[in-house]
Structure 1
Amino acid sequence: MLVVEAKLKNGTPQQYQKLDEAIKTSQFVRNTCVRYWMDNKGTTRNDLQKLCSQLAKNQNTPWATKLNSQARQSAADRAWQSINRFYQNCRAKTPGKKGFPRFKKNSRSVEYKLTGYKLSDDRRKIKFTDGFKAGEFDLWCSQRT
């Protein structure tokens, strides 16, 4: 699988604000999943995935519906990775702290897997198509895409 990380440029302040809202929503989903795991014993990865769809349908969290479903699931996967790492450290009896999952205060990214965006034909522009509608940005990447 080819993973390319790029920086966005030539956007307006309103566009960047919409991206910040998407990042904060992803952070909210991750923190909600960690809280759900703390409150419910025996929580599995599938339970966290189901929680994502419940958050999207919940009337109290209308902003969660704006975030792409795969981005919500990716945030739940990140929460599960931290939970799983904690379990592995406990089983391996590593000395010191075990890395109990913490709530994120300052997230800096949101992960779109296959949907929620559209790349231009020359792969130099990206348009976000999820509910936040951040618009089109130029891509800056240090490697050839």
Structure 2
Amino acid sequence: MMMTERNMISSISMMYRQAHRFYDKKLEEYNISSGQLTFLLCIHEHEGISMYGVAQLGHFDKGTVTKGIQKLEEQGYIRVETDEADKRSRRLYTTGKAVLIIERLYGIRQEWNEILVDGLTPEECAKAEELLGRMAENAWKYMNERN
């Protein structure tokens, strides 16, 4: 049975909202929101990345990245340094405070993933990951070819 457009969009929207609720609750003790989690893990995985690099990797607009980075810096989870080779560019690094909780953050993300795939076979999980990845790429490609 083919999922209707409305059901597909509604399901994706519901998962998105529930993910934010889950992350916001789990991250409350760290004073990190669901939106900041993605930025913090990206910076951890790519120490010295620029804000533009974060935007590109996550397909975020620059304004969203700037706000999220500013909050993480204010909270002491990241430090921002001016690039010596290009004074216009700012490099991002995690701090010791972030390093202390990084493994817990990955665990929280894994916990949500396990909730989502509960009851699915490994084959269904692989297919879902493939299809959602293709759908996300289609959305990104469409919007970026039009702007």
Structures share fold, TM-score greater than 0.5: no
Higher RCO by CA contacts (8 Å cutoff, separation 6 or greater): 1
TM-score (norm 2): 0.30
TM-score (norm 1): 0.31
